[in-house]
Amino acid sequence: MTTAAMTAPAMMAPAMTAQAPRPVLRAPRLRLTRRGRAVVTTLVSGLIVSLALALVLNGPMATANSDLSTGTFSYVTVEAGQSLWHLAESIAPGADPRDVIHEIVRLNQLQSSVVHPGDRLAIPQQYTP
């Protein structure tokens, strides 16, 4: 037999050697440098301060105003063809109708100065007899 004939089957056969087990790969541990810790601390602190400022600055808007709920009011029913201007002139003839209209709109929480016949409006105390 020739040496070439002997080596041919050995080259084709897979080597049956024992392989060492592969080590389990673990995720690298997160390490923050001193500068990284400072950046994270600054960002978190900034977020907390921003939220606190937003809450403090928006807080007074949520409080109830008791100016409108104290006292009793006189009421007037709007008649056909009557506007707030006519109503203001009849309630307080000596006062500026624009000021009276403003107070009526504010007191009754109207969206506009348009009124309809049959609407019942509260009159500010300073204009009641």
Query: pLDDT for 74-120, tens place per residue?
Result: 899 999 999 999 999 998 888 899 999 999 999 898 888 889 999 99
Task: Please give the pLDDT value at position 23.
Answer: 77
Q: What is the CB-side half-sphere exposure of residue 118 using CA atoms within 13 A?
A: 0
User: What's this model's pTM, rounded to 2 decimal places?
Assistant: 0.45
Query: pLDDT for 8-58, tens place per residue?
Result: 555 555 556 667 777 777 877 888 899 999 999 999 999 999 999 888 887
**Cα distances (Å, whole numbers) of residue 119 to 37, 71, 88, 115, 129:** 65, 21, 15, 7, 21
Q: What is the CATH number of the domain that holds 123?
A: 3.10.350.10
Which residues partner with 122 through β-bridges?
A: 75
- 79 close to 92: Cβ distance less than 8 angstroms: no
In a domain, 49, yes or no: no
In a domain, 93, yes or no: yes
Q: What is the DSSP letter of 89?
A: H
Total domains present in the chain: 1
